[in-house]
Amino acid sequence: MFYRSWQKDHTYRGFVLVRNYSCFAFEIAQNSSQHARALFFDREIKRVTEIAWDQAVNDTANLWQSIFWHALGPERAWQLYGIPEPVKEIGNGSLC
């Protein structure tokens, strides 16, 4: 149910290059913590789950594309897998 909803109502936001995997993991954990806290306050399970799912799908896509981008380089990643130029970077936040 949630997957089909995500397909219709949400979109992939474009390739965001992960610069620092440890910082990226910290940012993911921080976001997940915020979603968990939201459940305690508003208890809108469907809404919070959809937001968390949307973020998880985008984070997973960004992680794997970043791994290929770093391993192969931009040109080869594009040639082999169609990975475009990143729309922005993540994993270099203020806490890293």
Mean pLDDT rounded to a whole number for the chain: 82
**C-alpha dihedral over 74, 78, 79, 82, to 10 degrees?**
160
Decide if pLDDT at 16 tops 70.
yes
Angle at 36 between CA 31 and CA 42, to 5 degrees: 120
β-bridge mates for residue 95, sequence order: none
Q: How many CB atoms are located within 10 Å of the residue 70 CB? A: 14
DSSP one-letter code for 89 = E
Please enumerate in sequence order all residues whose Cβ is within 8 A of that of 4, keeping only pairs 6 or more positions apart, or say none.
Answer: none
Reading the block at residue 18, the tokens are 């992960």
Pick from 8-12, 43-47, 57-61, 90-94 the range whose average pLDDT is largest: 57-61
Taking only the tens place, the pLDDT of each residue in 28-73 is 888 888 777 777 776 777 777 787 888 888 899 999 999 999 999 9
Its pTM surpasses 0.75: yes
